[in-house]
Structure 1
């Protein structure tokens, strides 16, 4: 599943979260990564075990944390899984209906996380230093240069 960056993240919501969290933004994003990895794994394991009750809390957690960063498609998918799981618990049914959504969950989480982390920690493109630069030996660029 491939999405455009503009459809995976609401950048105004991301910017608002970054501004509100200030210096703690990177730490909170790290928690999102850790919690998200765990939540996705628990949801997948619960699906394999046909245990709807075990899906509710991790789906709910993922939904809330994703919304905090403006990751609305991920939050929406987690909400669908949560609602299916809650209905299955109430009806004492297996969560078969959740399977197609859970299959999409990990790729969407990973792609979303990649975008969030890229925006939070942009890599600065560096130009090669001509003449070697400080602490570097200059590499000859033409015949007869040393």
Structure 2
């Protein structure tokens, strides 16, 4: 899988656009909370993994799952959900969360790349490709003519 294909799988841009429209002026502030809370959740999950503490994984994985899916960060949300499900199963069976290791190892790079994409999309200084089906604006603000 190429980097572009991986990036395409990270964000559901339709959900992202819907969240942006719904949150309006609060969007950037809430995205900032996601950045901060997400980093804390990832660190807590990693710490719990190192300690073999499945119970300590559940809440940060659950939180990260919910916040990720709010912004259309589907791959990150799915990864967090997988960790949460494994951790809950381990709590019930009183096992160490060893089977979550691969997912936990992938969590930070997926989180970081997801943030890069979300921040690139919300940065007003970044030039964007025209949306599918739309003609690009000309320098004077008008649309390109056929």
What's the TM-score, normalizing by structure 1? 0.82
Give 1 or 2 for the bigger CA radius of gyration.
1
Computed over aligned residues only, the root mean square deviation of the Cα atoms, in angstroms, reads: 1.4
Q: Could you say what secondary structure the match of 1:98 adopts?
A: helix
- Measure, in 1, the Cα distance between the counterparts of 2:124 and 2:118: 10
Q: Could you say what secondary structure the match of 2:40 adopts?
A: helix
Q: Once the two structures are superposed, what CA deviation does each residue of 1:39-90 show, in whole Å capped at 9, x if it has no partner?
A: 0000000000000000000000000000000000000000000000000000
Contact kept, 8 Å, 2:16 with 2:72, in 1: the verdict is: yes
What's the TM-score, normalizing by structure 2? 0.82
Structure 1 residue runs of 5 or longer lacking an equivalent are: 126-146
- Measure, in 1, the Cα distance between the counterparts of 2:6 and 2:48: 30
Structure 2 residue runs of 5 or longer lacking an equivalent are: 128-146
- Measure, in 2, the Cα distance between the counterparts of 1:109 and 1:90: 28
Contact kept, 8 Å, 2:120 with 2:126, in 1: the verdict is: no
- Measure, in 2, the Cα distance between the counterparts of 1:97 and 1:122: 41
* 1:47 aligns with one of 49, 52, 55: 49
- Measure, in 1, the Cα distance between the counterparts of 2:126 and 2:107: 31
* 1:10 aligns with one of 9, 12, 17: 12
